[in-house]
Amino acid sequence: MPRMTMIEAIRSAMDVSMARDDNVVVFGEDVGYFGGVFRCTAGLQQKYGKTRVFDAPISELGIVGAAIGMASYGLRPCVEVQFADYVYPAYDQIVSEAARLRYRSNGQFTCPIVIRMPTGGGIFGGQTHSQSPEALFTHVSGLKVVVPSNPYDAKGLLIAAIEDPDPVIFLEPKRLYNGPFDGHHDRPVTAWSKHPLGEAPDDHYTVPLGKAEIRRQGSAVTMLAYGTMVYVAEAAAEEAGIDAEIIDLRTLLPLDLDTITASVKKTGRCVVIHEATLTSGFGAELAALVQEHCFYHLEAPVVRVAGWDTPYPHAQEWDYFPGPKRVGEALLEVMEA
């Protein structure tokens, strides 16, 4: 299989989908002529024309609202919100219209749209270019929420999302766009082009929504992570010398609860890791589900490791992220309990 960065994998997913289905359209801020601020759509307008890949005004509400109208009449829009931090003007359209359309119309109309958003920190973007708002969408019935951690999954999940009959929020960790994140040293891995996780087929394939992947087998503790934090979990387990089982959730909604509970019942311990702020973050839902379904198997309380409860601190970016040190301390805590 050819090797791709996540940017190339996402572009390939849209390319494959547009070639297979004339109803797939791509638009957003700067995605047409320029090819997107991160170049994820580079070359697509030249290949498919300005009626299928085009630039939109700087209005997230308008972008998503137009996509909902298109979807309700048979198109399959895959739109880009330039940064996840910019999605808030469109939140009402996503929650009140996209997520509700199938139900309020008794199935007469559906909303097969994908909203792609670069998410998270790692590029020193400051408070308005680094947020991780996934919990705002996992709370909304009618949506699906996806966070890939590698190019193979990114392409397969995006194709599956485009083909899905309902709205999908597709969050792309920008720290992983050009290579894997070295969880040990908080920097990109330079040998990404040779990394097996960078391999992805050129042609059509899907990774099913709602299915997690066990990235590392283990028996001492279960680590639940997604996006960039998968690499932090791996680094922390290696540095602590703990036989941890690491689960890459991939899809937050619907959640693969079966894989999670089977692992926790085996290990008896659980550490949850995410980049977003701690309070009311998605880790709280994960911890509650583990406690609810695995209570009599737990040997220690579930521990969460997350970002600080503060607006994003530009000058302290690498301290804000859960790193191997903080995650390693959590591992030791649950092992000693």
pLDDT computed for residue 193 by the predictor: 44
Decide if pLDDT at 192 tops 80. no
Is 129 marked active-site? Answer: yes
Residue 53 CA to residue 51 CA, distance in Å, equals: 6
Residue ranges of the alpha helices (H) in 73-201? 91-92, 101-104, 134-138, 151-163
Q: CA torsion sign, 276 to 215 to 83 to 93? A: negative
Tokens coding 125: 């973007």
Query: Which residue of the set 129, 139, 185, 195 is catalytic?
Result: 129
Asked if 289 and 282 count as a contact pair (C-beta separation under 8 A), the reply is no
Provide the pLDDT for residue 337: 83
Q: Which domains does the chain have, with CATH numbers?
A: 6-198 (3.40.50.970), 213-336 (3.40.50.920)
Residue 195 has pLDDT above 60, yes or no: no
What is the mean predicted confidence (pLDDT) over 217-221?
Answer: 97
The mean per-residue pLDDT over the stretch 13-22 comes to 98
Specify the pLDDT at position 182.
63
**Which pLDDT band, with edges at 50, 70 and 90, does 316 fall under?**
confident
Q: List, for residues 114-161, the tens digit of each pLDDT value.
A: 999 999 987 777 788 889 999 999 999 999 999 999 999 999 999 999
Confidence (pLDDT) at 60? 97
Predicted pLDDT at 186 = 60
Residue 29 and residue 326: Cα distance in Å, rounded?
37
pLDDT mean across residues, the chain: 93
Residue 222: strand, helix, or coil:
strand
pLDDT at 198 over 90: no
> CB burial class (10 A; 0-12, 13-18, 19+) of residue 184?
middle
pLDDT for position 3 = 86
Helix, strand or coil, per DSSP, at residue 301? coil
pLDDT surpasses 60 at 189: no
pLDDT of residue 336 exceeding 80, the answer is: yes
Helix (H, G, I), strand (E, B) or coil at 335: helix
- Determine the number of helices (DSSP H) and then strands (DSSP E) in the chain: 12, 14
Helix axes 151-163, 6-20, angle to 10 degrees: 30
pLDDT of residue 130: 87
The proportion of the chain whose per-residue pLDDT surpasses 70, expressed as a percent, equals 95
